[in-house]
Amino acid sequence: MAMPTLAQGMKAEQFFEPSHVILLNAIKAGDKQAAQAIIDTGVALDVHGEHGITPLFWLAMETNKKSLRLALDLGADPDFPAYVTLDRNGSTEEQLLSALAGSDKTEMMQVLLEYNASPNAVDASLEPALFNAVANDKDEQVNLLLAHGVDLNATDAMNNSAANYSALMLKYKYALLFITKGGDFSAPSTTGGTVANSIERDLRKKLLRPGTSNYDYAMKVKELLIEKGVSFPPPSPKEVRAAN
C-alpha cells in the first residue's frame, strides 16, 4: 500500500506508536524541553510508522515550519526517507524535500535546506526535487534549489538531465536557465532524446506557437545550442540509440 497523501487533520495516532505520538504532540506544541525529555528516554525521530511515514513527513504535512524546524533542532535527519509502495515490486524510498517540491510548501523546503537537506533529493519515482519544481512551474523553488547547489546533471530514471527534462515538459524557460548555468544539454535519455530533439519535435507538431513566451524561450535555447555546435535538424532518437 502506498503512503497516503496526508491531509489536514490526519492525527499522529493513525501512524505512530503512543510514545511517538506524545513526542510529536510536544513538537507540535513547540515544547522543546518536553520533546527533548522524551527523546532522552530513547524515542527516536528517525523511524518509520504505518505506511512507511516518518515523523518528519508527518510534521511537514500536518504542522507549520516552526514545528519542522524544532524537529530538526532536536536531531531529525532531513534526508531520512519514507517508504512508498508504487507497485507490486515493494516499497521504495522517498526523501521529504522532493516530496514537497512542486507543492505549496516552499517554506518547508527552505527549512530543510537550511538544515543541510540534499538539494538532490529524489522521490519514490527517482524524480529529483528540481524536476518536480519544474513540472509545477515553481520558480521560487527552482531558484531555491539552485542557490543551494543542486546538481543540474543529476538524472531521473530515464536518464534525463534537468535541461532535457525541462524541454520534454515544454518548459523551455527552465531549459534555457539550466543550460546557461552549465547544465548538460547533449546527453541523451534512455530513449535517445535530447534537448535539440524536443525542440525539433515541438516545432514539427506545432506545440510551440510563434508569439508565445515559450516559443521565444525555445528559440533562444535553439540559438544557444547552435552556438555550442549542435546541428539542426539533430539526429533522431532512433539514430541516437543506434549510434550508442
Non-local CB neighbours of 167 within 8 Å, separated by 6+ positions: 175, 195, 198, 199, 221
Non-local CB neighbours of 184 within 8 Å, separated by 6+ positions: 152, 153, 161, 163, 164
Q: How far is CA 160 from CA 68, 102, 136, 205, 218, in A?
A: 32, 18, 17, 21, 18
Q: What is the pLDDT of residue 33?
A: 98
- Residue 52 has what DSSP assignment? G
Q: How many CB atoms lie within 10 A of CB 228?
A: 10
Q: Which residues pair with 84 in a beta bridge?
A: 92
Convert the pLDDT of each residue in 196-208 to its tens digit. Answer: 999 999 999 999 9
Parallel/antiparallel/unpaired status of strands 82-87 and 90-94: antiparallel
Provide long-range contacts, Cβ within 8 A and 24+ apart, for 103-106: 103/136, 105/60, 106/138, 106/140, 106/141, 106/144
Convert the pLDDT of each residue in 151-179 to its tens digit. Answer: 999 999 999 999 999 999 999 999 999 99
pLDDT band at 244 (very low <50, low <70, confident <90, very high): confident
Q: Are 84 and 124 in contact (CB under 8 A)?
A: yes
The set of cell numbers assigned to 136 is: 509545477
In whole angstroms, what is the distance from residue 178 CA to residue 162 CA?
Answer: 7
The set of cell numbers assigned to 110 is: 527552505
pLDDT band at 30 (very low <50, low <70, confident <90, very high): very high
Q: Which residues pair with 87 in a beta bridge?
A: 90
Nearest alpha-carbon partner for 27 in 60, 1, 50, 53: 60
Burial of 158 (C-beta count, 10 Å sphere; 0-12/13-18/19+): middle
User: How far is CA 37 from its chain centroid?
Assistant: 34
- Residue 122 has what DSSP assignment? B
pLDDT band at 2 (very low <50, low <70, confident <90, very high): very low
pLDDT mean over 61-82:
95
pLDDT score of 44 more than 90: yes
